[in-house]
Amino acid sequence: MIDLAVVLLGLFIGLMVGATGVGAGTLGAPFLIFLLKIDPFVAAGTDLFMSVVIKAVGSLMHKRANNIEWRSFSPLAISGVVGSLVGLVVLAYLKQHVDMNASREVMRHAIGVVLCVCAAAVAFSSRLSARHEKLDNPASLGIMGSLVAAITAVTGVGVGSLSVPALYFIKGRSQMPSIVGTSLAYATIVTAVGAAGHMALGDVNYPLAGLLLLGAVPGVALGTTLVTRAPAALKPVVAALLVVSGLRLIA
C-alpha cells in the first residue's frame, strides 16, 4: 500500500513538472518528510536524485517541441553549476560542524521558508508583465541561475518554483511553454550537480527513488503534453500545496 502511494506521488510530481516546470523539489521533499518520516537530509538527496531523471525526460520532450531557448540556457547553466557547488559546501559544513539535531531543525525550517517564497512566486508570476524585458541579458540570467542553484543544493527545493516565475519576470514576452522548457533544461544541470553531492554524502535512498520514478516518468510525459493547453490552471494547486507544506515545516 505504501509502495503504491509512493508511485502515485511520483506520478503527481511528474505531471506538475511536465506541465508547469514546478513540482519535483518543492513537492517531493516535504511529502517524504511528513508521509514517510524520512530524515530531511535524506529526503532532499533522494528528491534531487529522482528529479534529475524527471527533468531530463521533460527537457527532451520540450526540446523536441522546440520549447528551449538556448540563448538563455547557456548563462543559466554555467552560473547554476557554480551556485550548486557553493550550496554543497554550505551543506557539507552544516553536517560536519553543527550538531546534527540542530542541523535537521535548520534544514526543516529552511525548506519551509523556501516553500513559502516559492508559493508566492508561483501565485503571482502570471501578473508579471513585459515591462522588465531590459533584464533579459546574460548578467541577470547568471545572477538568477546561481542564486536558485545555491538554494536548491542546500534544501533540495526550488529549482522550478523559483526559476519559472523568475524567467517569466526577466523574459516578459516569452510564451510559457518556452519558459517551462528552458527552466527544465537548466534545472536538469543544477539538480545533477546537487544530486551528485548528496550521493557523495550518502543522503540518497535509491529504492525509494526508484518507486517515485515508476510514477514520475509517465507523469512528466503526460504533463508536457498539457503545457500548451492550460498550464496556468495548475498554478493555484501548486501554490496551495507549497504553502501548506512550508508552514508545517516551519512550525
In Å, how far from its chain's centre is CA 130? 24
With cut-offs at 50, 70 and 90, classify the pLDDT of residue 153.
Answer: confident
Tell me the three state secondary structure of residue 66. Answer: coil
Among residues 226, 111, 122, the alpha carbon closest in space to that of 166 is found at 122
Is the pLDDT assigned to residue 50 strictly greater than 50? Answer: yes
- Which three three-digit cell numbers place residue 178? 518556452
Cα R_g (the chain), whole angstroms: 16
In this predicted model, what pLDDT tens digit does every residue of 64-100 receive, in sequence order? 888 899 999 999 999 999 998 898 888 788 778 877 6
pLDDT of res. 1: 63
With cut-offs at 50, 70 and 90, classify the pLDDT of residue 208.
Answer: very high
d(CA 146, CA 152): 10
d(CA 235, CA 164): 11
Task: Answer with the residue of higher pLDDT: 8 or 99.
Answer: 8
State how far the alpha carbon of 241 is from the alpha carbons of 80, 113, 230, in Å.
Answer: 26, 14, 19
Count of Cβ atoms closer than 10 Å to residue 98 Cβ: 12
pTM of the model: 0.78
d(CA 150, CA 90): 9
State how far the alpha carbon of 25 is from the alpha carbons of 71, 144, 145, 170, in Å.
Answer: 25, 17, 16, 22
With cut-offs at 50, 70 and 90, classify the pLDDT of residue 235.
Answer: low
Backbone angles phi, psi at 201, to 5 degrees: -85, 0
- Which three three-digit cell numbers place residue 212? 517515485
Residue type, 242: L
Are 194 and 153 in contact, with CB atoms under 8 Å apart? Answer: yes
- Which three three-digit cell numbers place residue 3? 509502495
Are 198 and 204 in contact, with CB atoms under 8 Å apart? Answer: yes
Percent of the chain at pLDDT above 90? Answer: 19
With cut-offs at 50, 70 and 90, classify the pLDDT of residue 111.
Answer: confident
Are 230 and 87 in contact, with CB atoms under 8 Å apart? Answer: no
Is the pLDDT assigned to residue 103 strictly greater than 80? Answer: no
pLDDT of res. 130: 47
State how far the alpha carbon of 45 is from the alpha carbons of 91, 179, 183, 197, 249, in Å.
Answer: 11, 26, 20, 8, 17
Among residues 170, 133, 179, 229, the alpha carbon closest in space to that of 22 is found at 179
